Amino acid sequence: MIRLEGIEKTYGRKKALAGVDLTLEKGKIIGLVGENGSGKTTLIKIIAGLVTPSSGSAEVDSIKVTRKIASKIAYMPDTDLFYPYFTVDELFRFYESQYDDFNYDKANIVAQFLNVDRNAQLKKLSKGNRGRAKMAATFGREADYYLLDEPFSGFDPMVRTDIIKGMIQFTDSSQTIFLSTHEIREAEPLMDEIVLLNSGKIMAHEELEAIRDEYGMDAVTWMTKKIREGESIAN
């Protein structure tokens, strides 16, 4: 499992995260939602070992998070960090050289499923097709945990649908997906749990089934209500 205790992160005078306590169980798809500037990307980068918290502790399967945690975590950033002159196939070969758990054949299967041309240069692909290639490279890994930062951002509905189908088809019940998203309606059918981050703090962490059955709400309505309640208390 992923366990965070008392995580704080400051950038100069700005506090991005303020005392985050969070436990994520294995084998679930968990959404991280919140308004812009709430700290979602910082939180994901801390779990991925790319950002060091100012205080608090972060563990994955009882192992302290450092950059070495990449051996257990497949991280997909919201920006393109790849060499633009790579072809998609060269991207896969690069991943194969970096990660022991990378399955080249699986990456090719994902790429075929997502209709990605493996011979195309990344710089010549549309944003949607680069997103598909990035997804294929990420899910080509047989990782215990997948951290996806805004995997649907900027893509048209067809690409979003392909990515969602890929997540379902190319992971199993032993693997965990933790994804941040503003596209809550598209992601809701995927998610087992949802974490609401607001002003650097965990405002709520609920099972989607409970939100639907106990509160009679969809995820967007629930999130909006929680944020308004928090603003009301603050005022």
Q: Residue 190 falls within a domain, yes or no?
A: yes
Instruction: Identify the weakest region by mean pLDDT among 124-128, 129-133, 157-161.
Output: 157-161
Q: Region 77-99: what's the mean pLDDT?
A: 88
pLDDT per residue over 207-233, tens digit each?
999 998 888 888 889 888 888 877 655
Q: Residue 130 falls within a domain, yes or no?
A: no
Q: Region 103-110: what's the mean pLDDT?
A: 95
Q: Residue 131 falls within a domain, yes or no?
A: no
Which CATH number goes with the domain that contains 12? 3.40.50.300
Asked whether residue 192 carries a pLDDT value surpassing 60, the answer given is yes
Q: Residue 102 falls within a domain, yes or no?
A: no
Asked whether residue 235 carries a pLDDT value surpassing 60, the answer given is no
Asked whether residue 179 carries a pLDDT value surpassing 80, the answer given is yes
What residue type is 90 in one-letter code? E
Measured distance CA(19)–CA(210) in Å, rounded: 25
Instruction: Identify the weakest region by mean pLDDT among 51-55, 84-88, 104-108.
Output: 84-88
Main-chain dihedrals φ then ψ at residue 32, nearest 5 degrees: -115, 115
DSSP codes of every residue in 157-223: HHHHHHHHHHHHHT--TT-EEEEE-S-HHHHTTT-SEEEEEETTEEEEEEEHHHHHHTS---HHHHH
Percent of the chain with pLDDT over 70: 97
Q: Residue 224 falls within a domain, yes or no?
A: yes
pLDDT per residue over 22-43, tens digit each?
999 999 999 999 888 889 999 9
Q: Region 9-19: what's the mean pLDDT?
A: 91
Give the residue numbers spanning the domain of 22.
1-72+183-235
Q: Residue 225 falls within a domain, yes or no?
A: yes
pLDDT per residue over 113-128, tens digit each?
888 999 999 999 888 8
Count up the domains in the chain and report the number.
1
Q: Residue 95 falls within a domain, yes or no?
A: no
CA 191 distance to own-chain centroid: 12
What's residue 155's pLDDT? 75
Stated pTM of the model: 0.90
Q: Tokens 């189908």 identify what position? A: 165
Q: Residue 178 falls within a domain, yes or no?
A: no
